[in-house]
Structure 1
Amino acid sequence: MSAYTLDWLNLLLRWIHLITGIAWIGASFYFVWLDNSLEEASAENKQKGLAGQLSSIHAGGFYEVGKYQLAPPEMPTHLHWFKWEAYSTWISGFLLLSLMFYVGANSYLIDNSKLVLQPWQAIAISLTTLIGGWLIYHLLCKSPLANNSWLLAGVLLAFITGLSWGLGQIFSARAAYLHIGALIGSCMAANVFFVIMPGQRALVAAVAAGRPPAPKHAKASKLRSVHNNYLTLPVLFLMISNHYPMTYGHPHAWAVLLAILLIGAWTRHFFNLRHKGVVRPSILVSAAIAVILLAWAMAPAPLPAVDADQALVSDQQALSIVQQHCSSCHSAAPHDEMFTVAPAGVMLDTLAEIRQWAPRIRARAINSRDMPFMNKTEMSDAERATLGQWLQQATP
């Protein structure tokens, strides 16, 4: 399969994944807001069995929404189920994961500097992580830990943190992060498929048969819905993390991930409370402070200033390093087998272009060492230091 064809498949799958993800998380946000914003039902609606109601206006129309205490007196002819948003997001995400990390295992998944693997071995570890991770999560949610939400959350967070560290010792840094995102997304979609939807079917069947529904279904569905709700912001971060090597490329990437998971869930808590009429600005303030502190803690050490007595790096030395290690991809005419055009439009054929992209080179090749991609051209630390010194000279 040509690189051009792979680029198109990657683009289309990523686009579909984004669209379906917006639909799923948008529906989730709306129903959480709706459930938390219901007002007491009027006397007339209470007689109909409604527990709450809400009036709204959108797109030039008025809407009246009501929620039954249990169920309507008889099942409506058309009952709308919200499930395909979740299923479509997972399916498109898994196809995208397969295209990038299974088809392109040697390029994107395997990092031979960490562990030498055959593609089938790396793919087996990946699938085991996704399937095994869901089974561990599922069993924990069915265990007595489910009776203590804080303890369960702590155990699950420790599991995700440990798994993040472990994958970071096996896969490429970017693959390790995206696999955590894939696992969380898989757990969220599996919650819908294996727990929430069966619970809703049991409710519908009970009402249709005229018998009271089993409370265990409602309890299990509520727990998984809460988990899905608080995981929305962290999983969105993980979806875009591959663009920011300062996170997954950090020496302590697992700790960065832990911090962002906590900040994302804490921020979501603010909105959950706000929908119930409880406004606590301190939550957003503390989350913002946490982001600032995290950014400060992650900041790379500044490059040392060029000493006046230090031998200067010549333009030719810098250009030679870039041409040897970077220009196979970042060129007007790339000759790398994976890239038919310069990634992100970054071309480094001349000294002027290198100066133009100096901040990006510092961030990606000097600070995070995310480039060259997977260090496939084997750029040494000494060469990075030399290029960094030239950048200090040329663009202080």
Structure 2
Amino acid sequence: MEAYLSEWLSLLVRWFHVIAGVAWIGASFYFVWLDNHLREPPEWKKQEGIKGDLWAIHGGGIYEIAKYKLSPKEMPNELHWFKWEAYSTLLSGLALLFVVYYMGSPGYLIDPSKADISIGTAIAIGLGTIAVVLAIYEALIRSPLADNGKAFGLTLFAILVLADWGLFQVFTGRGAYIHVGAVIGTIMVANVFLGIVPSQRALVNAIEKGGDPGARVARLAMLAKLRSTHNNYLTLPILLIMISNHYPLLYGHSYGWAVLASIGFIAAFARHYFNLRHRDINQPWILVVAALLTATLIWAIAPAPVTSVAADGQVVSDETASAIISTHCVACHSNAPSHPAFQSPPAGIMFDELSLLASHADKVRQVAVDSHYMPLGNVTGMTDEERQQLGQWLITNQPE
């Protein structure tokens, strides 16, 4: 019953996290698009203090949208703030981190072959990394480096790659990926909480007092815009991380940290094309380069094809394959898992019969032979020889 309730808890928290993330990212994409599509208004609007306007049609109606240079002549009775989408995403994401990785199966996070640590130590490393990187980011964005966009971007990328590499040396690939995502997500929410919202409050307070917002508010607004831009470029990489747990070909690779760094760069680079396009600057070569880099990455991490039946010329028997599966797989992947962390077989994959193993040959080869991701944390001590034997059996028994 405990495993059953744990799965429901994981499902509900994950569902809420996705809903909150969709709301936040959707709003973020919309406002970036909106800001980049504002056009110079007619003179009468300029006299009203309007900096740019936009006309749009949606939902059967026509909208007129205006952005003030500083403030309207009179503040509205109701002003909508966009912040809880971000806060809800962070809180639900941290809850999911605890439910799945800190309180769930240790194999999701700890790999004894990398670092034989306790769950308490792993939690301290994970949360400590999030806190340290956030502190470094906040120090940098409040420094003169923030005035140099390219230098800041390269510095931030280098810091994230270093954290990515370090976490990969300690955690499982999946655990490392999700913690890099937690680092990025925390930075993005901190940008809202520590920069964007305070800037908005300072502007509103200055307007309500009836004075000129002044240089301080203008500086806060500039930093808020910079933080918003950073969030925009981090959005696609974090979306990839949110779905990466389904793809061990990424985090299960021996250089999984470099794979994540490469995809993060490519995604942010591709996002740059759309940001320019919104400003009527068309640079299609950016997408071409991003596509070529993606193709190169796919080629570079592809597993070497296995063509030989066996190293010694002998075929691996069904009995040997069954023994390997019984020892290392069926505790989780069976109709009634005996592993305490699972109420049902992960991904619905069962190996109660040997024929079922052959039907999932490509997946098994990917996660247990090529990447060594399974068994989780290798808690059963599966040897390289057993992985080779399993791979050889899969080659000779793949379905027609």
SS in 2 for 1:130: helix
Matches within 5 A, 1:233-382: 233-306=236-309, 310-382=313-385
Distance in 2, Cα, partners of 1:308 & 1:203? 72
User: Which deviates more from structure 2 when the two are superposed, residues 276-285 or residues 381-390?
Assistant: 276-285
Distance in 2, Cα, partners of 1:392 & 1:2? 39
Partner of 1:200: 200
Q: Which runs of 5+ in 1 are unaligned?
A: none
User: Is contact 2:168-2:176 (8 Å) kept?
Assistant: yes
**Alignment-mate amino acid for residue 229 of structure 1:** N
Distance in 2, Cα, partners of 1:49 & 1:307? 77
Partner of 2:35: 35
SS in 1 for 2:336: coil
Normalised to the residue count of structure 1, the TM-score between the two structures is 0.97
Query: How far 1:130 sits from its partner (Å)?
Result: 1.2
Query: How far 1:21 sits from its partner (Å)?
Result: 0.3
Distance in 2, Cα, partners of 1:105 & 1:74? 56
Q: 2:224 aligns with which of 221, 224, 234?
A: 221
Q: Matched residues, percent identical? A: 52
Q: Render the CA deviation track for 1:168-199: whole Å, top value 9, x for unaligned.
A: 11122211111000010000001100111001
Matches within 5 A, 1:46-57: 46-57=46-57
User: Is contact 1:105-1:122 (8 Å) kept?
Assistant: no
Query: How far 1:308 sits from its partner (Å)?
Result: 11
Distance in 1, Cα, partners of 2:47 & 2:158? 48
1:308–1:228 CA distance, 2 compared to 1 (3 A): closer
Partner of 1:157: 157
User: Which deviates more from structure 2 when the two are superposed, residues 26-35 or residues 137-146?
Assistant: 137-146
When the two chains are superposed, the root-mean-square deviation of aligned CA atoms in Å is 1.5
User: Is contact 2:310-2:316 (8 Å) kept?
Assistant: no
Q: Render the CA deviation track for 1:20-41: whole Å, top value 9, x for unaligned.
A: 0000000000000001011221
Distance in 1, Cα, partners of 2:271 & 2:366? 30
SS in 2 for 1:39: coil
Normalised to the residue count of structure 2, the TM-score between the two structures is 0.96
Runs of 4+ in 1 over 3 A off after TM superposition: none
Partner of 2:233: 230
Partner of 2:191: 191
User: Is contact 1:181-1:239 (8 Å) kept?
Assistant: yes
Q: 1:385 aligns with which of 383, 388, 393?
A: 388
State whether structure 2 residue 66 is matched by structure 1 residue 73.
Answer: no
**Alignment-mate amino acid for residue 329 of structure 2:** C
Query: How far 1:227 sits from its partner (Å)?
Result: 0.4
**Alignment-mate amino acid for residue 263 of structure 1:** I
Distance in 2, Cα, partners of 1:282 & 1:235? 24
SS in 2 for 1:169: helix
Distance in 2, Cα, partners of 1:112 & 1:161? 23
Query: How far 1:210 sits from its partner (Å)?
Result: 2.2
User: Is contact 1:105-1:119 (8 Å) kept?
Assistant: no
State whether structure 2 residue 172 is matched by structure 1 residue 172.
Answer: yes
SS in 1 for 2:170: coil
Distance in 1, Cα, partners of 2:312 & 2:332? 35
Q: Render the CA deviation track for 1:137-188: whole Å, top value 9, x for unaligned.
A: 1101112211211111111111111111111111222111110000100000
SS in 1 for 2:54: strand
- Structure of higher RCO (CA pairs closer than 8 Å, 6+ residues apart): 2
User: Which deviates more from structure 2 when the two are superposed, residues 140-149 or residues 83-92?
Assistant: 140-149
Partner of 1:2: 2
1:105–1:365 CA distance, 2 compared to 1 (3 A): closer
User: Is contact 2:107-2:378 (8 Å) kept?
Assistant: no
Partner of 1:62: 62
**Alignment-mate amino acid for residue 264 of structure 1:** A
